[in-house]
Amino acid sequence: MMMRRWTGLVVLVLAVAVLGAACGKKGTTTPANAGAGGGGSSSSTGGGGRYGGGSGTSSSGTSNSGGGGTSALTLQQTNSLRFVPAKFSVKGGASITVQNVTTSIPHTFTVDGTSIDITNNPGQSQKVKIDLKPGTYPFHCKFHVAQGMKGTLTVT
């Protein structure tokens, strides 16, 4: 009986370790804002959910903050696997807040062709400095792009 209990515990620990290694990814910052702004670290522990992303902890050693101040806009990541708004414009150098409004689904905000790639666990939000040249940039959630979770960012 005791051996069966230990075997089950070992299997559980290994499963969590494999899942965490396969699905866990730390958020990244753009080079222009690494270490800028509010400083400190942000972290959140979240559950897996049925849409991917796994369980475990996502954290960032440097802040994605654009330097205090207010955000030009709040981009929401929703239960319906959408970004709201899906299309928006900001001035280069502006900061936005990316907010995961779900209770059980992790999401990313990944801007194609750039180093902007953050992960938000359920209920988490992060400020992201949009330090990009003027132009149009597609963005998506790496976990849910196949379900249509994408949008367009225009930098003016």
pLDDT digits (tens, 9 = 90+) for 10-65: 554 544 444 444 444 443 333 333 333 333 333 333 443 444 443 333 333 223 44
Each residue of 94-105: pLDDT tens digit?
Answer: 999 999 999 999
Omega into 85 within 30° of 0, i.e. cis? yes
Domains of the chain (ranges; CATH) run 2-155 (2.60.40.420)
pTM for the model: 0.59
Each residue of 119-152: pLDDT tens digit?
Answer: 999 999 999 999 999 999 999 999 999 999 999 9
Q: Which residues contact 24 (CB under 8 A, 6 or more apart)?
A: 54, 56, 57, 58
For residue 51, the surrounding DSSP H or E stretch is none
